[in-house]
Structure 1
Amino acid sequence: MSNPGSHAIPTDRGPVEAQASTTDRPLEGFIPRSGAGLPFGILGVSSTQPPDKPHTRIDFQFSRAAFKSSKIPFQVPYPVPFRLLGDERKGWIDTTYLARDGRLRIARGNKGTVFILAKDDPPAS
């Protein structure tokens, strides 16, 4: 029985697994995003505002992604040609909250999206 006013959170919404370069972990030639994006806000406008505090921004560049689901035994490639998107495949997140144990992070992205990120448990050895 649930408490009044509580909401169940679905656990299988088809998460996306992505590969991205960062300044600290470059997978290919990586230069952080420099502008607001394509003209007329196509694909969303990216903020060019600097971070509120030093060392809170993580710049990234996607190179591939796929949808995962417990309902199918394979990953479905994300239908985006990242290499053709130039700066549109690049972005950043600013950490606004980091738990003391480092396992939970709340961040805002360059297009205004709020992310709640949790580290997976390390694999059992």
Structure 2
Amino acid sequence: RSTGDDMLLTALALAIRTPTRGVPVQMCATTPLEESLLTLLQPGSTPVQEEVAKITTALAASAGQDQPALSPLIEGEWVLLHTSKSTFDARNPLGKREDGTSPGLEGAFAALSGGAQVAAPSSSPIQRALVDAFSVTQSITLQGSDKRVLQSVETPLGTLRLGARASVSSEQPARISFTFDEGYFAVRAPLFGVDRLPYPVPFRLLGKEAEGYLDTVYLSEKIRISVGNKGTQFVLRRA
């Protein structure tokens, strides 16, 4: 048995002894399970999907915020560490929806809002490139009337920003629903005086294609695990 297996089993055993969901917990220090996950997903590592799934499943079943989308802890800036992936289908280069249909222009920004399940739909190559090669962050603001989710991708050429109106409800306390309403690429080195390139298609013309949601299955002061509307699981740490 490998050292990694021993570390995982130890973390899982410690997690079983944590309070059950619904019990108020002060999430000040990083838990053993969180430490195991952060170690597995540290920069330059090549984590095995099955190992990540074991830990994220254990975290989702352990103590955490009972109503994560309504908790102040969910606000702020988060850095994407990992996203579940599936086999690339060359016949659908932008990925597929749950019903198997092609997403069209949705593929350009679906990478930041929800990808595809491993069994049926395929992850977009855009999603894999963004997650693997660049820095992806998500900023959440839910206080006040201007509730927003801002997705940012730092690239060598500049920053891609996608903004969305957000909403939460006590009826679905784990879900943040959103509708994209702005998108642009901020050029690092402006050309001919142009420093911002707008998203090529107005979001209002995309209709339902511009809508999505994130269900948070685990939330603490350090870690957030969310599942997008297309089944992709996202692991993020607080910036």
Question: TM-score under structure 1 normalisation?
Answer: 0.50
3-state DSSP of counterpart to 1:87: helix
CA 119–64 in structure 1, closer or farther in 2 if over 3 Å, else same = farther
Aligned counterparts of 2:186 and 2:235: Cα–Cα separation in 1: 18
Which residue in 2 is equivalent to 1:20? 164
What is the identity percentage for the equivalent residue pairs of Structure 1 and Structure 2? 39
Which residue in 1 is equivalent to 2:201? 80
Aligned counterparts of 1:60 and 1:105: Cα–Cα separation in 2: 18
CA 54–112 in structure 1, closer or farther in 2 if over 3 Å, else same = same
3-state DSSP of counterpart to 2:207: helix
Residue type matched to 2:163 in 1? Q
- Structure 1 residue 107, shift from structure 2 partner: 1.3
Residue type matched to 2:179 in 1? Q
Structure 1 gap ranges (5+): 1-5, 25-52, 121-125
Query: Which gives a bigger RCO, structure 1 or 2 (Cα 8 Å, sep 6+)?
Result: 1
Aligned counterparts of 1:64 and 1:23: Cα–Cα separation in 2: 16
1:55 aligned to 151, 173, 193, which one? 173
Aligned length: 84
What value does the CA root-mean-square deviation take over the aligned residues?
A: 3.1
Say whether residues 1:107 and 2:226 are aligned partners.
yes
CA displacement 1:74-123 (0-9 Å, x = unmatched): 33222232101111111101112212x2x642211111233344555xxx
Aligned counterparts of 1:95 and 1:23: Cα–Cα separation in 2: 14
Aligned counterparts of 1:10 and 1:23: Cα–Cα separation in 2: 28
CA displacement 1:5-63 (0-9 Å, x = unmatched): x7176544355322211225xxxxxxxxxxxxxxxxxxxxxxxxxxxx94111000010
- Structure number with larger C-alpha Rg: 2
Structure 2 gap ranges (5+): 1-42, 46-132, 136-153
Indicate the structure with greater helix content: 2
Aligned counterparts of 2:233 and 2:159: Cα–Cα separation in 1: 16
Question: TM-score under structure 2 normalisation?
Answer: 0.29
Aligned counterparts of 1:10 and 1:89: Cα–Cα separation in 2: 23
Aligned counterparts of 1:23 and 1:85: Cα–Cα separation in 2: 19
3-state DSSP of counterpart to 1:83: helix
